[in-house]
Structure 1
Amino acid sequence: MGGKYRITGDKYPRMRPHRRRGRLAVVTVACAAALGVAGWGTLQLIDVFTGGGGTASAAGTKADCDTKASPSAGTTPAAAAVPEPGRITVNVFNATPRSGLAKKTADELKKRGFRIGDVGNAGKQYDKKVDGTGVLLGPASSLNSSLPVLATQLAGAERRTDAARKGDTVDLIIGTGFKELTKQADADKSLAALAAPKPTPSAGKKSC
């Protein structure tokens, strides 16, 4: 080449492209960021399908948690429906050959707070036909209210209801197996347990 530009000497300049260090750095950072986002997304999907961290058993995460029932405050409907003895009227009938049992039993029930209705001998349907300690008879509405309360006073008595019967009065029919009413101390304990609020299980509380 002549003119202004001449090449002198026996060495020629190397023809090579400019270094691209800056571009390589940008590409490296971008790849690292993409991998990080993909990894984070994968972890989120794993948490969604496995229910969070921790090691799950073969039965699943629900099997790894213990369910505990916590008692809720308040009373059960059955406990709330139990009436006090003073709100129960009892007819006392004697179905045995022994005289005086109806009046004696009625007097004792009165001392314990019950209202007393009719007192006398049992009708033909029950007279000398009750082998146990007695029969407690009332309308269908008394099955889970008045009859359980009266039953605390005479252990072993049979409970019966009459769907055709009206009102809320109940009968205590003394049977041939009758000796005496339940001891008042024991009857009071049974009555207190019957009327006490009973805890009911609420929604289970899970702990892992």
Structure 2
Amino acid sequence: MEPNSTALAAWERLADIFHDNQNARAVALEQEFSSVRMETFPNVTTYCQRLKTLSDQLRDVGAPVNNHRLVLQLISGLTDAYKGVATLIRQSNPLPTFHHARSMLTLEEAGLAKMKPVEPPAAYVATQSRASDVSSQSTDRRSSNRSRSHNSKGRGGNRGNGGGSRRGTSQGSYPPMPPQPQYFLYQHWGWAPPPWVVPSCPYPTS
């Protein structure tokens, strides 16, 4: 606002501000409009909205985009999943409007979403993985316990047979042994003798 300024002068000043570097901005918008591709957007709606926004901005800087060019740019930037509907739109004569083409793409997107296999949630997969790990660990522990039990039974049987030999009886699958010195039995069966059983050197022969 300036003293003795008219509304027309203020309007023209604002127009100069908004239309400054108009041609340069038109070139930048044209390049961006021509390079828009659907793979950089999450869905059809955002892709179409970006094209419509750029076309509106080009119109504001004096480079309007007609419906024919807008629809051609729309189908040229589609991914391979939309080849069928892109061919259908391209072969239409005359070309459908931008809003009609957008509706066709939206319906195609919904159909493709229904054809995709439903994947289980990540939480379900993690739960199943943990359950499998727990089951595997439990199986390993049971196998280890059975192995220890089998080994302990074998050692217990050996001890039982050794004791039976000392008493002059036959137990298990080993034949009865004749009376032997106590330390010889420890060496034969691989047992560590208690400290109070070890005889003094030299060892007695009977």
TM-score range, shorter chain: under 0.3
**Structure 1 or 2: larger helix share?**
2
Task: Give TM-score, length-normalised by structure 2.
Answer: 0.25
Which structure's relative contact order is higher, taking Cα pairs within 8 Å and 6+ residues apart? 1
Task: Give TM-score, length-normalised by structure 1.
Answer: 0.25
**Structure 1 or 2: larger strand share?**
1
